[in-house]
Structure 1
Amino acid sequence: METAAETGSTFGLLTDLVADGGVVVLSGAGLSTESGIPDYRGESGRKRQARPMTYQTFVGSVAARRRYWARSHLGWRHITGALPNAGHRAVAELQRRGLVAGIITQNVDGLHQAAGASDVVELHGGLDRVRCLSCGERSPRHVLHRRLAAANLGWDSAAGEINPDGDADLDDDLIESFTIVDCRGCGGVLKPDVIFFGENVPRVRVQECYAMTGRAALLLVLGSSLTVMSGYRFVRHAAELAIPIAIVNQGPTRGDAQAMVTLDAPLGPTLGALAAQLCPAT
């Protein structure tokens, strides 16, 4: 563990790197935990037993889709009610000041945008949208939420543990009594517009992130363990191009050996202090 002096020295180096601009942010679930949204692999993730829904399970079973939508119908209230924290606001401010040139997020909660960030590439999609697997039509999640509420009058429950993908732990008997709805246009299966485990990120989106990473003066990883290759590949890409990498995360990450700077610290206070130093009030 670093001493206070070592942590201060690391923070100073991070500040100097970000001050040069051209920063591309790669954010993960750890950035949103201070907004009340748990992650899969951090401290909040280790306390849960639930396994995330896979794409193959979702498309292969009506019962699985009923389970997902019943749990998600409750969990969505929690996700949509979450507010950006100091970390999200700091990233948005650094972008407004011209220091952050791009944002790639593995999160599906929309909190970067809610904090005022623009041109955010949502690597794994967004929970605020729904897609039909047959006709491809995308629609706002709040529209589906109203349809599900209307189809399940009198059905309600207090949500249990909330997962990062927006679903909530729920008893089996409540799940079995839940009614799901299909696409109003073609009757096809509706799926949240997010990448499930076992599903591939669209190639065009991946190439956009590779290109953004390749133009970076610094790749700044925030709140990601980089366990999944989906995000880690951009760290590898930056390393291959000799682009400096800095990581702020609570706990070790898969990319630590490739980073110039690693800081094990809470995201909100750390990024808030970084923005306060680089973006003084005028």
Structure 2
Amino acid sequence: MQGTIDGFRYGAVTPVAAYLMACLGGALGLRCIVRSLLDKESWKPGWLALGAASIGCGIWTMHFIAMIGFDVAEARIGYDAGLTVLSLALAILVVGVGVFIVGYRGAGKGALTGAGVITGLGVAAMHYLGMAAMHLDGSIRYDVVTVGLSVLIAVVAATTALWAAVTVRGFSTSLGASLVMGIAVSGMHYTGMAAVEVHLHGTTGASWSGDSPTSLLLPMLLGPITFLLLAGVVVMFDPLLVLGESERSRSAVPRRTRPDSAPGQRPGTGPELRAAPVGARPPGRKA
């Protein structure tokens, strides 16, 4: 028996919330990566790791918020806690690989392509590992062509995000890039979900005795969401992260004590002394 799938059980609430979390993780990740590039004296591995964790958490929370809205009418859905946590670790790890590659080697064609492919395949693996954590009284099957399309979207999205991370500097442009990233990541997720077919083992009223999606996923989502909020506080209180290259350039301009003093000239020995009236006493000489 084929199950009746509803991917939008709560209407637009779950897709909109999922998209916003993907945008938040992308925006924080981009700014942290930019921070590591703007200031050579900063602790680069730390900023890159924070950026990777932000993007990974954003992708993972997007996936499982969207999965709260996934429902099979004839079956109860549950999740394996171990695989769910493993999918979070996988998301952070593969994004970290891509981020560190472009963070240290730049956006060259070879480095960017390799990092984008690795990260995109890892994001797709996170998605389908998260799907493997789902249990119900039936089997889940996938349309191969649609799965391939979702993987392609993941690779393109990851490559674009990594390119933006090392080339985009301004705050407003980073914000725009994060909105595009949110669309790409959400598009990958819902393309992958379009490939799903559920075949139930029983006839009607089949169920699984595990936890419901909301009772398990909501508490697990609190950790990554809290992490993203704390990362947002770090970004808000770092002026270089918010203002970017323009603030760094302004702070690097040397201040001159007197505008009329030439470089290397002592203040008070400029051209104005040579223009003193005839007969004026030199400074310090008594009449």
TM-score by length of 2: 0.23
Query: Greater strand percent: which structure?
Result: 1
Query: Which structure: larger Rg?
Result: 2
TM-score by length of 1: 0.23
